Amino acid sequence: MSIRKIARNARRDDVLELFKPLALRIESKIWDVHVHQSQFERLLGGEARGTLITYSTLKPLAFAGFKKVVVASACMQDTMFFRLLAAQRVKLKPVSKRLSRDLRYQQHEHGERITFYYACEEAWSKTYRDKQVRCEAVEDDVKLLDLIAGATLALFADEPYLWMGNKDLPNTFFDEPGVKTKAERLPNMPHGLNDYQGFHNVVVLSALNPSPAHFHFLESYGINGEEVRTAHYRTAVYQAVMRCSIRNPADATPKRVVVMDRDTAEWMANLFAGAAVEPLPGMGVVPRKGKAGRPRQHASNAEKAWAHRAGKEMEWLAQLDLINETSVVIGRYPDLAREVRAGMSEFACNENTYNTAALRF
Is the pLDDT at 207 greater than 70, yes or no? Answer: yes
Name which residue leads in pLDDT, 291 or 91: 91
Distance CA 130, CA 145 (A): 6
Which of 39, 69, 99 delimits the end of a domain? 69
Q: Is the pLDDT of residue 343 over 90?
A: no
pLDDT in tens, 42-75: 888 888 788 888 999 999 999 998 998 999 899 9
- Per-residue pLDDT, 94: 86
Whether 194 and 263 map to the same domain: the answer is yes
Average pLDDT of the chain, as a whole number = 84
**Final residue of a structural domain among 69, 95, 119:** 69
> Amino acid identity of 85?
L
- At residue 322, the pLDDT reads 61
Pair (57, 160) in one structural domain: no
Do 272 and 311 lie in one domain? The reply is no
- Domain's final residue, options 229, 264, 288: 288
pLDDT of residue 263: 96
- Residue 128 forms part of a structural domain: yes
In a domain, 294, yes or no: no
Residue 86 lies in a domain: no
Average pLDDT (234-252) is 95
More confident site: 110 or 141: 110
At 204, the pLDDT band (50, 70, 90 cuts) reads very high
Same domain, 48 and 120: no
Q: Identify the CATH number of the domain in which residue 204 sits.
A: 3.40.50
Q: Is the pLDDT of residue 356 over 90?
A: no
User: Which is higher by pLDDT, 324 or 150?
Assistant: 150
Question: Is residue 315 over pLDDT 80?
Answer: no
Between CA 170 and CA 272, with CA 154 as vertex, the angle to 5 degrees is 90
Phi, psi angle pair for 163, to nearest 5°: -145, 150
If asked whether residues 181 and 258 sit together in one domain, one would say yes
- Choose between 257 and 95: higher pLDDT: 257
pLDDT at 348 over 50: no
**Count of alpha carbons within 13 Å of 278, Cβ hemisphere only?**
11
Q: Do 161 and 265 lie in a common domain?
A: yes
Instruction: Quote the domain boundaries for residue 178.
Output: 111-288
| pLDDT of 358 over the 70 cut | no
| Claim to verify: residue 257 and residue 280 sit in the same structural domain | yes
Considering the domain architecture, whether residues 170 and 256 belong to the same structural domain is answered as yes
Q: How would residue 355 be classed by pLDDT, with cut points 50, 70 and 90?
A: very low
SS3 content of the chain, % helix, strand, coil (to 5): 40, 15, 45
What's the average model confidence in pLDDT over 322-345? 60
Residue 289 per-residue DSSP state: S
Q: What is the pLDDT of residues 284-301, one digit of tens each?
A: 767 666 544 444 555 555
Chain centre distance of CA 70: 23
Share of the chain above pLDDT 90, in %: 54
Q: How high is the pLDDT of residue 360?
A: 27
User: Residue 261: helix, strand or coil by DSSP?
Assistant: strand
| Number of residues that this document lists for the chain | 361
Higher-scoring residue by pLDDT: 61, 339: 61
pLDDT tens, position by position, 174-190: 998 888 889 999 999 99
Give the confidence band of 308 by pLDDT, cuts at 50, 70, 90: low
What span, in angstroms and rounded, lies between the C-alpha atoms of 289 and 279?
Answer: 18
Banded model confidence at residue 304, pLDDT cuts 50, 70, 90? low
Q: Is residue 293 assigned to a domain?
A: no
Whether residue 106 lies inside any domain: the answer is no
Q: Which residue has the higher pLDDT, 19 or 104?
A: 19
pLDDT tens digits along 252-275 = 999 999 999 999 999 999 999 999
Q: Please name the amino acid found at residue 152.
A: T
The DSSP bridge partners found for residue 31 are 58
Q: Angle CA(70)–CA(72)–CA(77) in degrees, nearest 5?
A: 105
| DSSP 8-state assignment for residue 230 | I
Residue 102: predicted pLDDT: 78
Residues paired with residue 259 on neighbouring β-strands, in sequence order: 118
DSSP one-letter code for 281: T
**Same domain assignment for residues 115 and 255:** yes
Looking at the structure, tell me whether residues 11 and 121 fall in a common domain.
no
Beta strand residue intervals within 136-194, DSSP E: 140-143, 161-164, 183-185
How many domains does the structure of the chain reveal? 3
DSSP output for 28-89:
-SSEEEEE-HHHHHHHHTT-SS----EEEEE-GGGGTT-S------TTGGGSHHHHHHHHTT
Is 196 a domain residue?
yes
- 323 and 218 share one domain: no
Domain assignment present for residue 105? The answer is: no
Q: What is the mean pLDDT of residues 225-236?
A: 96
Which band of pLDDT confidence, cut at 50, 70 and 90, is reported for residue 140?
Answer: confident
Does pLDDT of 215 surpass 80?
A: yes
Please tell me the predicted confidence (pLDDT) of residue 235.
Answer: 96
What pLDDT score does 181 carry? 84
User: Does a structural domain hold residue 85?
Assistant: no
Beta pairing class for 161-164 and 183-185: parallel
Q: Which residue has the higher pLDDT, 347 or 77?
A: 77
* Whether residues 156 and 267 fall in one domain: yes
